Amino acid sequence: MKTVKIGDKEIKIRRAKVKEVKNLIKDTATKITEVADFFFNRQMTDEELINSLMEAIMENIEFFEDYVLQFTVDFTQDNFDDLEFLDAILLIKEIVAYNGIKGKFVKNFFHNLNQVMTTQAQPQEKFIKEVPKV
C-alpha cells in the first residue's frame, strides 16, 4: 500500500490483485479502444477536438471513478466527487503508475495500436493471397 498526497488529502492506494486483473484488462481494453478510435479514426479540426474532448471525458468519467474507488482504501464516492478535476487525473495517474504501468508503456501501446488499426484498414490485396509451397 502507498499513501499519496493529492491537494490537502492523503489517499491510500493499493495494487491490483490477480483475480481483479482479468476484468480490469477487459474493461480497460474496451475503454482504450474507444479512446484510440476517438483520436486515430476521426478526422477533425483542433476546434472540433476541443469540443469533442470534454464530451469523451464525461462519457468515460464513470469508468475512472470506479477504477479509483476500487484501488483506494477508505475513499468514497463523495471523496472522489469533492476532488478538483486535475487532482482526480493526478490520482488516476498515481494508481496506474503504482500498478506498474509507466508512461512509456502507454505511449508504446497507443503507437502499436495505431499501427494495427492502420494495417487493418488497408485493402486486403496487400496480404498474402496464396500460401507458398514448401
- Reply yes or no on whether the pLDDT at 10 is more than 80: yes
Task: Please state the length of the chain.
Answer: 134
Q: Which residue has the cell 493526478?
A: 90
Other CB atoms within 10 Å distance of the CB of residue 90: 16
pLDDT digits (tens, 9 = 90+) for 79-133: 999 999 889 888 988 888 888 776 676 667 666 766 776 776 666 555 556 666 7
60 within 8 A of 34, measured Cβ to Cβ: yes
pTM of the model: 0.60
* Single-letter amino acid, residue 45: T
Q: What are phi and psi of 54, to 5 degrees?
A: -65, -40
Of the candidates 62, 114, 50, 108, the one whose C-alpha atom is nearest the C-alpha of residue 88 is: 62
- Reply yes or no on whether the pLDDT at 5 is more than 80: yes
